[in-house]
Amino acid sequence: MSEEAVALNALRNVEKLAEALGAAESQLERGYAELAAAILEVQEKRYWEGSHSSWKEYIEFISRKFHMGRSQLYHKISVVKQLEGVVEPKDLTDMGISKASVLADAHRLHGEIPDSAVESAKNSAVTVKELKKSLAEALHTPEQESMEWFDLNFAFYVSAEEKKELQDAMRTARSIDPPISNTLKDFMQSKEIALRWARDFLATYSSEEVPF
């Protein structure tokens, strides 16, 4: 098969997977992992050349044609790329993109993830929250031994204005005296930001009567 035919097949495979996702919402969790792997192959082997003017234009084409958020596509691609050589492609597809995202974050932060975490992620009976907890326990630091795992349990879509507002609030929380050190692990920085928000809110409103 010629190189041009291989590239064309790879591009068609991406569109086939993207179209299937749009037609069956129930497949989003597993299908996105497979789609991201297919798009990553197109990127790494530059199969988009000849059909699109740039990689960015190709992603915009997929996003627009199949009604998928561009930032979400980039995120899925990043997850699959982070776990290359760490999680087998079939396992990545089977576990779904939500669990894969948890593993990718841990691998990015620690440079490794325990085999037990990969096995947990593959287990359909294990929830995303349970996977996060088991990873935190497996990769814990000594000072965490006396602490309890606490999952705030929220992630959400935001508008551009809301995103900027939250980022500004995080930046302010980081910079007030004493500033949060960038040498701390990511989860410790996030924890300190959340605690500063909570303390400021409670200091402002805790004396007010709260209606129930």
Instruction: Specify the 3-state DSSP secondary structure of 28.
Output: helix
Better-scored residue on pLDDT, 152 or 194: 194
Parse the chain into domains and list their residue ranges. Answer: 3-144, 160-205
DSSP 208: S
**What is the distance between the alpha carbons of residues 44 and 40, in angstroms, rounded to a whole number?**
6
Candidate from 92-96, 119-123, 136-140, 167-171 with smallest mean pLDDT: 136-140
Q: Compute the distance between CA of residue 173 and CA of residue 87 in angstroms, rounded to an integer.
A: 36
Q: Phi, psi (5° rounding) for residue 166?
A: -70, -40
Pairwise CA distance, residues 106 & 7, whole Å: 33
* Residue given tokens 């997929």 in the structure block: 62
What is residue 26's DSSP assignment? G
Q: Which of 152, 154, 33, 192 is nearest to 103 (CA)?
A: 33
Q: Is the pLDDT of residue 90 over 90?
A: no
Nearest to 11 by CA among 63, 58, 79, 75: 58
pTM of the model: 0.62
**Mean pLDDT value across the chain:** 82
Report the amino acid identity of residue 112. E
Residue 107's nearest CA partner among 87, 133, 127 is 87
Q: How far is CA 34 from CA 98, 156, 178, in A?
A: 13, 23, 44
Measured CA to CA, the distance from residue 48 to residue 55 in angstroms comes to: 7
pLDDT tens-digit series, residues 8-65: 888 888 888 887 766 554 455 667 778 888 888 898 899 989 889 998 899 989 988 8
Which amino acid makes up residue 212? F
pLDDT at 113 over 80: yes
Which pLDDT value is given to residue 121?
92
